[in-house]
Amino acid sequence: REKQYRAQQGFGDRHGGVTGAHTYFYADEAKCDQHMETFLRCIDASSGSSEDGFSAIKLTALARPQFLVRFSEVLVKWRRFFHQMAAEQGQAGQAVLDTKLEVEKLQEALANLGVASKAESQQWFTGENMSTSGTVDLLDWNSLFDSRTKLSRPLLIPSSMTGQLEPLLSRFGEEEELQMERVLQRLDVLAKRAMEKGVRLMVDAEQSYFQPAISRLTVETQRRFNRGQPVIYNTYQCYLKEAFNNVTGDMELSRREGWHFGTKLVCGAYMEQERERAAQMGYEDPINPTYEKTNEMYHRCLDYVLEEITRSRKASVMVASHNEDTVKFTLRRMMELGIHPSDKKVCFGQLLGMCDQITFPLGQAGFPVYKYVPYGPVNEVLPYLSRRAQENRGFMQRANRERDLLWKEVKRRLLAGNLFS
Ligand SMILES: Cc1cc2nc3c(=O)[nH]c(=O)nc-3n(C[C@H](O)[C@H](O)[C@H](O)COP(=O)(O)OP(=O)(O)OC[C@H]3O[C@@H](n4cnc5c(N)ncnc54)[C@H](O)[C@@H]3O)c2cc1C
């Protein structure tokens, strides 16, 4: 099994070291339904308080984490197999969308590995989703997985550890199928309500060992509900080395299938936990090596989305950041690309109680800007807020900056004689 997708007792308490996000723990399916009801009330409240509001949800509140890990493992194994095939065709390390496997060579490789005979794989590569170019890219490959898993014979692929063939779905049985159905149903209920109420639904990104599944389930929902406008927003964490590949891959899928690409771009809230887990369990750290690399990644992903907005108008982004440089970068690129604030294709978001010195001027200048408000029982929300205040290293620095700015403003008003205007 892939190390990253093994259960590890030391990390059972997933809120350890996480200051910027709320953590849900699975009890049973009834509790997941209860969370869904809470999310529905939140959608209603958002619709009542503003014209074009957002509601954010977490999939670990709606599904069993064990299912999310197992589904993630399957998706990642399938993707790795694609990259293994790409390496055999001399395309190792290429950008995801530039990697195109030649079908004939691929069929030969699959037959040599014992994964599928040429006659069998012939059928895989004739479906309506296949490109006519005689090549297969990652999106074609993923669509193969969708249809292939419906076939009865278990699909065998080489293990990344031993090279031996093993069933792709060995840990994905009837229970997981059922879990998948249930979580998609819950998402469906939430998306329908959001659509009815004119609220956009953002699905938060969580730990990297859940994220492939979370993102895939979100894309499934986007396919259904983002046909006319972006109702569902997926979240991409730019501290991940894979962030650009994830953004470009999903964006290309949205182009091919003709739906709106709604996205929230964040830095990522689980860095310390991710690094510790990777070090302890002995797999590659999924996080960019430095803060600068994360910033570069953020700007690269954002630029890609902004260019798509200019090109097709079928993308929307929430720049969810407290980083002044990122906000300035966004404003500059919007101006250069001719994206006007009133287009409402780009909006900004900060956590409640943080960085009002960014939020308010943006709002005053006419940019759509939102505060992310944690909600829930007081005993759960208060520790979340105080933990963040205590643990966020940049927090005191920012609070000091905010205090300095407030003093400056008080002095300015005193000198101008209009303190209360
Ligand atoms: C509206 C909103 C929604 C959010 N939703 C989500 C969500 O769905 N999922 C989620 O995970 N988070 C979410 N977050 C939290 C977000 O990911 C960040 O944790 C938070 O915004 C702080 O990062 P920043 O870019 O805003 O600020 P910055 O001041 O730029 O802080 C970035 C922090 O990242 C650290 N950092 C990042 N990468 C590296 C690296 N490679 N090496 C060293 N340090 C690094 C730095 O230490 C710094 O403390 C959300 C935040 C907001 C405002």
CA–centroid distance, residue 269 to ligand 1 (Å): 5
CA–centroid distance, residue 36 to ligand 1 (Å): 26
Same domain, 369 and 382: no
Atom of ligand 1 nearest to the CA of 270: 11
Same domain, 285 and 319: yes
Q: Taking 60 as the threshold, does the pLDDT of residue 101 lie above it?
A: yes
Domain with 130 in it: what CATH number?
1.10.238
Same domain, 279 and 364: yes
| Vertex 12: Cα angle to 7 and 14 (nearest 5) | 115
Same domain, 130 and 50: no
Instruction: Tell me what ipTM this predicted complex has.
Output: 0.96
- 68: in domain: no
At which of 143, 167, 191 does a domain end?
A: 167
Contacts of 211 (CB under 8 A, 6+ apart): 72, 205, 237, 240
Same domain, 183 and 303: yes
Same domain, 239 and 340: yes
The share of the chain scoring above pLDDT 70, in percent, equals: 81
Same domain, 368 and 380: no
Choose among 267, 270, 268: nearest CA to 278. Answer: 270
CA–centroid distance, residue 207 to ligand 1 (Å): 13
3-state DSSP percent of the chain in helix, strand and coil, to 5 = 55, 10, 35
Q: Which residue of 206, 208, 266, 352 sits with most ligand 1 atoms within 8 Å of its CB, as the best mutation to test the pocket?
A: 266
Q: Residue 310 and residue 339: Cα distance in Å, rounded? A: 7
pLDDT of residue 294: 98
- 172: in domain: no
- 210: in domain: yes
Atom of ligand 1 nearest to the CA of 394: 49
pLDDT of residue 141: 86
**Residue with the nearest Cα to atom 52 of ligand 1?**
320
CA–centroid distance, residue 266 to ligand 1 (Å): 6
CA–centroid distance, residue 238 to ligand 1 (Å): 9
- Lowest mean pLDDT across 39-48, 82-91, 160-169, 268-277: 160-169
Q: Which residues line ligand 1 (CB under 6 A)?
A: 20-21, 204-205, 235, 237, 239, 266-271, 287-288, 290-291, 293-294, 320-323, 349-351, 372, 393-394
The alpha helices in 131-269, defined as continuous H runs, are 138-148, 174-197, 211-225, 243-257
Q: Residue 301 and residue 304: Cα distance in Å, rounded? A: 5
Three-state secondary structure call for residue 334: helix
Q: Taking 90 as the threshold, does the pLDDT of residue 381 lie above it?
A: no
Same domain, 236 and 348: yes
- 101: in domain: yes
Averaged pLDDT, 357-367: 90
Instruction: Give the count of domains, the chain.
Output: 3
CA–centroid distance, residue 318 to ligand 1 (Å): 14
- 173: in domain: no
pLDDT category at 391 given cuts 50, 70, 90 is very low
Look at strands 261-266 and 315-320 and give their pairing.
parallel
Q: Residue 223 and residue 220: Cα distance in Å, rounded? A: 5
Atom of ligand 1 nearest to the CA of 267: 17
- 125: in domain: yes
Structure-model confidence comparison of residues 47 and 1, the more confident one: 47
- Report residue 240: phi and psi, to 5°: -80, 140
- Lowest mean pLDDT across 224-228, 332-336, 380-384: 380-384
At which of 121, 138, 167 does a domain end?
A: 167
CA–centroid distance, residue 252 to ligand 1 (Å): 25
Same domain, 342 and 309: yes
Domain with 368 in it: what CATH number?
3.20.20.220
Atom of ligand 1 nearest to the CA of 289: 41
Same domain, 381 and 287: no
CA–centroid distance, residue 83 to ligand 1 (Å): 29
* Segment 160-189, tens digit of pLDDT: 667 776 777 766 778 888 899 999 999 999
- Token representation of residue 279: 């070090």
pLDDT category at 62 given cuts 50, 70, 90 is very high
Structure-model confidence comparison of residues 406 and 67, the more confident one: 67
- 155: in domain: yes
Same domain, 390 and 359: no
At which of 133, 167, 201 does a domain end?
A: 167
Averaged pLDDT, 410-415: 68
Atom of ligand 1 nearest to the CA of 393: 49
- 280: in domain: yes
Same domain, 229 and 342: yes
User: The domain containing residue 82 runs over which residues?
Assistant: 73-167
